[in-house]
Amino acid sequence: MNKSRYAVGLNKLAEIDGQAGHKVIESLQNVCPDLARYTIEYPFGDIYSRPGLDLKSREIATVAALTAMGNCRPQLIVHINAALNVGCSPEEIKETVLQMSVYAGFPAALNGMFAVREVLEERDLLS
Amino acid sequence: MNKSRYAVGLNKLAEIDGQAGHKVIESLQNVCPDLARYTIEYPFGDIYSRPGLDLKSREIATVAALTAMGNCRPQLIVHINAALNVGCSPEEIKETVLQMSVYAGFPAALNGMFAVREVLEERDLLS
Amino acid sequence: MNKSRYAVGLNKLAEIDGQAGHKVIESLQNVCPDLARYTIEYPFGDIYSRPGLDLKSREIATVAALTAMGNCRPQLIVHINAALNVGCSPEEIKETVLQMSVYAGFPAALNGMFAVREVLEERDLLS
Amino acid sequence: MNKSRYAVGLNKLAEIDGQAGHKVIESLQNVCPDLARYTIEYPFGDIYSRPGLDLKSREIATVAALTAMGNCRPQLIVHINAALNVGCSPEEIKETVLQMSVYAGFPAALNGMFAVREVLEERDLLS
Amino acid sequence: MNKSRYAVGLNKLAEIDGQAGHKVIESLQNVCPDLARYTIEYPFGDIYSRPGLDLKSREIATVAALTAMGNCRPQLIVHINAALNVGCSPEEIKETVLQMSVYAGFPAALNGMFAVREVLEERDLLS
Amino acid sequence: MNKSRYAVGLNKLAEIDGQAGHKVIESLQNVCPDLARYTIEYPFGDIYSRPGLDLKSREIATVAALTAMGNCRPQLIVHINAALNVGCSPEEIKETVLQMSVYAGFPAALNGMFAVREVLEERDLLS
């Protein structure tokens, strides 16, 4: 049932994104609440709750993809936070972004690394 | 020294890509051997040999990025093979590609999954 | 319920894609049946069945996007067919693709137009 | 004649973009007036004036493409406005952007929806 | 006048693309002759005939861009040929493509280099 | 040796980027100094120091690619400056960006031209 997928999704969203995910959901309420609902149902309710890949690997995959795509900075910021929340170390996240210099070029990796720096600074994790 | 980076890279290439990596290197010899040399030195000599992220996670990141980018099918085929070689299960690879439906859309995930099917078929791993 | 979304999606798939959609679903059965299921549930069950935009406009939007993205040729072929199936004229489809020369460049429009030609030829609609 | 294409284009620009289009043209005068001239001549003089596809459909196609491409926010803002100007309803525009979650991923759709919200807020059309 | 832009474009097309350009034009005649006309008028009639940048530099710019974009292989093949036709050496073309490993990643550069190899082989220029 | 590639790279960076390049390097020191090191070693130490293509052509290629890619504005700004530093005229840079309207669309060219305007304004080169 839709409601069950939504409930599963909300749980997963809380587990992974903490506050950031809810902010996105709220920001959509006055323009397209359905997009918010689908974002909870499909990515979180259907995909992130699947057992075949652990959450740390899922976030590494997403951080890699968003860095390589290069045009989704707000979502990359959310997922760098999510990666930290599910147990990836700052080092693992930096290595993921650095590796994208090979596949998507140095600009993609540099811009991704600036996003990492912004999140680590905000969370007081910059050495 | 360049020679040391090249040697480190060749070792890493053998560990990860087996035959497929060498095919790419050979195919460049009569047009641009330097690109082959840089491909061994930077991606494999410098990046993949770094300790901060395990090889399985590195290949999951690369498969995710190449699926999301959607325009590097030959390299995606190489890395699906590489992911299997370093210990990712077919299920983990499928989950990575499936997850890209969220971040890069269903076409990217579908085309990535067709590449997965091609590799698994070739390696006799299709159930 | 999941089953209801699947049923709605199957109906919409039949209405829009005829045979082509089912071919994609079948081609996934031995590698990732869940991706096939999600493809029916989300794009067709949730999105294409929404009332706020007519089917012709939906297909024009999809043909435009896939032409502009430039890296999803199999899906573009499916949707040029779908656009014809839901009542877009060949002329309307050509105009959509031609317009992408402005937003994504002439290569994207040219490659999109070659896809249009392939579909029209197959359906005996080339003047 | 060039002048005729320019005149046709200026008319079409006024019909579709109102003020926003002229702002872009003016902003180019001190760096590259020829790009402004070509922008009026080709997109508006040649393409948008063609009869084979109605203006509403043209704007839906453009909003879809720019949302999917994900890296042309200023132009997306212009065209969300243009879509409203030529008679698309806010609902039709939201549906177009929402549909891009299927083809280009949720980040593209989310970022496109935030652009929609910005335009609707500016035009006092947010419910 | 349109006819003058077309005539200028045809001349420039002959100067740069030789046979390859005309093949593209002919392949469009039964699906969208207007796209062929616009391709001659805008890229060749308006842009390539401009005096501010020499033809060799123009082709280097185009080869670089198409390599980086990674999803326009047919056009990249045409322009590698064009670059040779206007006086770029095979070495200059290889260097341009190789450099894209920095900005768009190694896959883009590898796929571009395979296109270079194909053209050089066809023109008997492979050492 | 690594150190020699780094030294060669630093020299090339100074020759091309002046201050801007060093700013990027410094901004990475507290998050990922290795990315800064690789950026000096590979792009500048290995690629830009190669003799087969002159520096002016290299910067034209990079400006073209970054304009076409459309999602690396910070790097485009750096390279418009670099192009001026190595002897490209403002006109040559504008022509390169304008030409991208053909290959990547008018939005890419417009956004690239706004970046050109910003740099020229900052360097007091706007007519």
Which of E107, E113, E116 lies nearest to residue B72, judging by beta carbons? Answer: E107
pLDDT tier at B18, thresholds 50, 70, 90? confident
pLDDT tens digit sequence for C23-57: 888 999 999 999 999 999 999 999 999 999 999 99
Q: Which residue in E73, D66, B106 sits closest to C78, CA to CA? A: B106
Digit-by-digit pLDDT tens for chain E (127 residues) are: 456 999 999 999 999 987 777 888 899 999 999 999 999 999 999 999 999 999 999 999 999 999 999 999 999 999 999 999 999 999 999 999 999 999 999 999 999 999 999 999 999 999 7
What was the pLDDT predicted at B1?
45
How close is the nearest chain B Cα to the Cα of D58, in Å?
Answer: 23
How does residue D3 score in pLDDT terms, banded at 50, 70 and 90? low
- CA pair distance E16, E12, nearest whole angstrom: 6
- pLDDT 10s digits, A12-29: 999 998 777 788 889 999
* Three-point CA angle C105, C109, C110, nearest 5°: 115
Check pLDDT > 90 for residue A3.
no
Per-residue pLDDT, averaged over C53-81, amounts to: 98
A2: pLDDT strictly greater than 70: no
Calculate the CA E93 to chain-centre distance: 12
How buried is C51 (Cβ within 10 angstroms: 0-12 exposed, 13-18 middle, 19+ buried)?
exposed
Residues 6+ apart with CB under 8 A from E35: C98, C101, C109, C110, C113, E28
**Percentage of chain B lying above the pLDDT 90 cut:** 90
Closest CA to A83 of A95, A74, A71, A92: A92
CA of F31 vs chain A CAs: smallest distance (Å): 6
Min CA distance, B1 vs chain F (Å)?
Answer: 3
Check CB contact under 8 Å for E105 and A107: no
Handedness of CA F86, F87, F88, F89 (dihedral sign): positive
Query: What's the rounded Cα separation, in Å, for the pair C69 and C74?
Result: 12
Per-residue pLDDT of B96-119, as tens digits, reads 999 999 999 999 999 999 999 999
Distance CA C20, CA C13 (A): 9
User: pLDDT exceeding 90 applies to what percent of chain D?
Assistant: 90
Residue of E nearest to B36 (CA): E110
Reading the block at residue E47, the tokens are 């842009």
Contacts of C76 in chain E (CB under 8 A): none
> Exposure of E34 by Cβ count < 10 A (0-12 exposed, 13-18 middle, 19+ buried)?
middle
Distance, CA of A58 to CA of A52 (rounded, Å): 10
Write the single-letter amino acid at F30.
Answer: N
Residue B71 pLDDT > 80: yes
Band the pLDDT of C70: cuts 50, 70, 90: very high
Side chain identity, residue B67: T
In this prediction the ipTM stands at: 0.96
CA distance A2 to chain C (A): 5
Residue type, E98: L
Contact (CB, 8 A) for E64 and F65:
yes
Burial of B88 per CB tally in 10 Å (0-12, 13-18, 19+):
buried
The residue among D11, D12, D7, D38 whose CA lies nearest residue D25 is: D38
End-to-end CA distance of chain E: give it in Å, rounded.
47
The whole-angstrom distance between residue D78's C-alpha and the CA centroid of its chain comes to 5
| pLDDT for C1 | 45
Token digits for D5? 């294409």
Average pLDDT of D79-100? 98
Residue F24: per-residue pLDDT: 85
Confidence of residue C3 (pLDDT cuts 50, 70, 90): low
pLDDT at C84: 97
Phi/psi class of residue B88: alpha, beta or left (left: φ > 0; alpha: ψ in -120 to 50)? beta
Please tell me the distance from the alpha carbon of residue E120 to that of residue F2, in angstroms, as a whole number. 34
Within 13-72 of A, beta carbons closer than 8 Å to C belong to 34, 38, 42, 46, 50
Residue C75 has pLDDT above 90, yes or no: yes
With beta carbons less than 8 A apart as the criterion, state whether C70 and C108 touch.
yes
CB A99, CB B61: distance < 8 Å: yes
The span from the CA of B44 to the CA of B5, in Å, is: 9
Tell me the C-alpha distance between E60 and F76, whole Å. 17
- How is residue C53 annotated by DSSP? S
Higher pLDDT, F68 or C127: F68
Q: What pLDDT score does B51 carry?
A: 97
Q: How many residues does chain F have?
A: 127
Contacts with B74 (C-beta within 8 Å, 6 or more apart), sequence order:
E107, E110, E111
Nearest to C75 by CA among D68, D113, A23: D68
Of the candidates C101, C107, C127, the beta carbon closest to that of E72 is on C107
Check E113 against B66: CB less than 8 A apart: no
Give the pLDDT confidence score for residue D1 in this predicted structure.
Answer: 45
Mutate to test the interface with F, among B3, B8, B40, B41 (most CBs of F within 10 A): B41
DSSP B53: S
Q: Name the stretches of chain F with pLDDT < 50.
A: 1
Q: What is the DSSP string of E33-96?
A: HHHHHHHIIIIIIIITT-TTS-HHHHHHHHHHHHHHH-S-HHHHHHHHHHHHHTT--HHHHHHH
Residue D74's pLDDT is what?
Answer: 96
Q: Which of residues 91-110 of D touch B (CB under 8 A)?
A: 100-108
Which residues, 6 or more positions from D26, have their beta carbon under 8 angstroms from its beta carbon? none
Q: Which two tokens stand for residue A72?
A: 């989704």
Q: Does C126 touch chain E (CB under 8 A)?
A: yes
d(C-alpha E65, C-alpha E53), whole Å? 16
Q: Which residue of E has its CA nearest to D2?
A: E1
> For residues B123 and B88, what is the distance between their CA atoms, to the nearest angstrom?
14
- Is the Cβ pair D94, A66 closer than 8 Å? no
**Mean pLDDT for all residues in chain E:** 95
Nearest-angstrom CA–CA distance, B99 and C46: 18
Could you write out the three-class secondary structure of D3-44?
HHHHHHHHHHHHHHHHHHHHHHHHHCCCCCHHHHHHHHHHHH
Cβ separation of C108 and F108 shorter than 8 Å? Answer: no
Share of chain C above pLDDT 70, in %: 98
Q: Which long-range contacts (CB under 8 A, 24 or more apart) does C15-21 make?
A: C15/C55, C15/C85, C15/C86, C16/C44, C16/C48, C16/C55, C16/C59, C16/C82, C16/C85, C16/C86, C17/C78, C17/C81, C17/C82, C17/C85, C18/C81, C18/C85, C20/C77, C20/C78, C20/C81, C20/C82, C21/C78, C21/C82
- Residue ranges and CATH numbers for the domains of chain E are 1-50 (no CATH), 53-127 (1.20.1290.10)
